[in-house]
Amino acid sequence: MNNKLAGQVAIVSGSGRGIGREIALKLHRDGAAVVVNDLDAAPAEEVVAQIVAEGGRAVACVGSVTEKDFGERFVKTALESFGGLDIIVNNAGYTWDNVIQKMTDQQWDDIMEVHVSAPFRILRAASGHFREAAKKEAEEGREVFRKVVNISSVSGVMGNPGQANYSAAKSAINGLTKALAKEWGRYKVCVNSVAFGLIETRLTSAAAGEGATINVGGRELKVGISEQMAKNAAALIPMGRAGTPEEAAGGVYLFCIPESNYVSGQVLIVGGGRP
């Protein structure tokens, strides 16, 4: 452990699996206490158990980030369990693709809800704590930095066919990032986005197999890509392959450590050299 984040408290949405899991583990291994979230209790509790077994501190906050009261509950879990909140990572999400002439209102609304409205409500729920903590620290003559990392995508930077909803949502989260960087600079809160390229997860893996699905809100949504699509995508990446969840987590970590205390309002592409 480097312990650069010792004494800090992080909440990471969608951290029971994949990239979110690796983010939670990385922050813990650098000293942070972590509130782990997943739709399902089992994966969230598994990550909590691993962190505790490694000598860290973690609790679970199970449920969908799209629940209207989730933001308040997520923040409250951190404050009541660990007495503070220093890092927010808005990672939870999924894709539900279609070309625009076939895309339904529900496909559009649900993707905007999970990728834009849910992070908005989490950040709004944290605003009071951030404001009051910054005021107290300023009165004491202390400068304490807090971090927000919103997860975006290259689809939100350059667009992607079949992903009008997802591209729009991830572009919107970049806009929210830049707005809050300006609003919260006075509170010493750095707000940045990490835009992932092709990362090997169950949502993008060719190994998932034909017909692989995930259950979201009682709906079975197709995940994974074909072997040929995986090869075509990898050919466009200068490094020649998809990134790993651990590498994706590394991009998030950069915005959480003290070395990035004067970096805010930025969108970092983690895509193996692809713009």
Instruction: Retrieve residue 256's tokens.
Output: 């959480």
Which one is catalytic: 166, 187, 253, 262?
Answer: 166
Active site residue 166: yes
Using CA atoms, how far apart are residues 242 and 200, in angstroms rounded to an integer? Answer: 6
- CA distances (Å), 262 to each of 144, 182, 232, 237, in order? 12, 13, 38, 30
Structure token digits, residue 166: 């997802």
User: Any idea of the CA torsion for 244, 121, 64, 130, to the nearest 10 degrees?
Assistant: 70
* Burial profile 172-204: b = 16 or more Cβ within 10 angstroms, e = fewer: bbbebbbebbeebeebbbbbbbbbbbbbbbebb
Residue among 48, 57, 46, 44 nearest 7 (CA): 57
Q: List the catalytic residues.
A: 166
